[in-house]
Structure 1
């Protein structure tokens, strides 16, 4: 039997092609080894970018006017809203950092008095306000009075936008691993954490509110009478073509 030299030459090339195809198809399989997890991070976005609770400061800058006097309506409402937030989620005391060295001591004192008045409107006693000072570096720039208190906040424990692995073809092992890139889901987790009104809701659920006894008894009475206990809305909804006009 005679074997042609052409078939002998093609055999190594065919073997190499089959091996390359097998490597590519292997990247589409589910990854189950611990080495991949350590190299690329966890597949679950909640493990890669967890939402954590921490005590962090909340601040409000109140700008000092040149002529002094009371706060303008916008800033007065901002301080009153900040006071209500302090009552709801604040921990510890409320601190006011007052600028010094800007040659506007009288205006700063008037602004501080306006802050105390706005805090009272928001339900916070001015007695809880601790006043500190900080030096002004540039008198030509606005130097606000900064109100700060600590509160429990939800956040991602690291910054988003990190790319530890090249998404291109330079890293063949990552490109063929079918693994999500590290930054995937970070922005979604950070946005979800910022939208939570009460971070404790992530830890435990709230108690159920008081049930409506009157509505419940009315439904039971309808069932006893053989009637449908569901709510019926008798308001007529106009048709779209009747409101737009069908001429």
Structure 2
């Protein structure tokens, strides 16, 4: 005796709707994920304000002194230090921009001679100095002789102080995102780049120095004797004379 097939408790239109919904879920599961939401600015400060290396000019303004006096001691020391820096990190030649049309042309000539002498004292041949001129806009203002050379420097690729988003309540989407604003960390990165003594240190580490052989042999000798090889620092309490401050 054959058993009649079980009937569904759902009407036909409902069964068709359920089948369509199940097919849609399967298709959604097999489909690839869409593009993820990308923040308006990189979250990491080092990506938003990266430190880059570039050849940038380094300048020193030498103000013209009185006629017959080349350089004062302060400016002579500045030029000598500038020459030593040029020897360490300078690229190309050294340029001196001399003002033209100034009232004290003789004093300008004397100052330029003093600059050549200070450069030689700093280890830079005066033959490497190229002299150019620039017009003086206001004769009443001080017109210095500007020394310039190119050197490898660590800088940011853009200026700080940019505010592409409104930090107020006008942009609700940005305010509700709880993300860092664009200028956040820019001054910190710029200060770090300016404090680096050698920009190459940001690219690769320095070589290790020579080890202290005496200290190493003393540590090995202590280990052989079963002693603690670590350094023992003595913490002594300063003794205050009883006559200072009075006693009880």
> Could you state the TM-score of these two structures normalised by the residue count of structure 2?
0.79
**Deviation per residue, 1:198-221 (Å, 9 max, x gap):** 111111011101111122112111
User: Greater helix percent: which structure?
Assistant: 1
CA distance in 1, matches of 2:92, 2:100: 25
Q: Which residue of 2 aligns with 1:120?
A: 120
Mapping of residues 170-181 of structure 1, within 5 Å? 170-181=170-181
Q: Which residue of 1 aligns with 2:227?
A: 227
Mapping of residues 55-204 of structure 1, within 5 Å? 55-204=55-204
Give the number of equivalent residue pairs. 213
Q: SS in structure 2 opposite 1:47?
A: helix
CA distance in 2, matches of 1:58, 1:192: 18
Asked if 2 retains the 8 angstrom alpha-carbon contact of 1:136 and 1:143, the reply is yes
Q: SS in structure 1 opposite 2:55?
A: strand
Q: Which residue of 2 aligns with 1:16?
A: none
Shift of 1:129: 1.1
CA distance in 1, matches of 2:198, 2:128: 23
Moved over 3 A (4+): 33-36, 232-237, 239-247
Q: SS in structure 2 opposite 1:69?
A: coil
CA distance in 2, matches of 1:185, 1:210: 38
Mark the runs of 5 or more structure 2 residues left unpaired by the alignment: 1-34
Q: Residue 220 and residue 111 in structure 1: after superposition, are their counterparts in 2 closer, same or farther (change >3 A)?
A: same
CA distance in 2, matches of 1:108, 1:91: 26
Asked if 1 retains the 8 angstrom alpha-carbon contact of 2:67 and 2:110, the reply is no
Specify the structure having the higher radius of gyration (Cα): 2
Shift of 1:36: 3.9
CA distance in 2, matches of 1:60, 1:163: 33
Q: Residue 242 and residue 225 in structure 1: after superposition, are their counterparts in 2 closer, same or farther (change >3 A)?
A: farther
Q: Residue 103 and residue 175 in structure 1: after superposition, are their counterparts in 2 closer, same or farther (change >3 A)?
A: same
Q: SS in structure 1 opposite 2:57?
A: strand
Asked if 2 retains the 8 angstrom alpha-carbon contact of 1:60 and 1:146, the reply is yes
CA distance in 2, matches of 1:45, 1:224: 50
Q: Residue 168 and residue 242 in structure 1: after superposition, are their counterparts in 2 closer, same or farther (change >3 A)?
A: farther
CA distance in 2, matches of 1:246, 1:230: 41
CA distance in 2, matches of 1:115, 1:242: 60
> Could you state the TM-score of these two structures normalised by the residue count of structure 1?
0.80
CA distance in 2, matches of 1:240, 1:161: 54
Larger RCO: Structure 1 or Structure 2 (Cα < 8 Å, ≥ 6 residues apart)?
1
Mark the runs of 5 or more structure 1 residues left unpaired by the alignment: 1-32
CA distance in 2, matches of 1:147, 1:177: 49
CA distance in 2, matches of 1:36, 1:211: 49
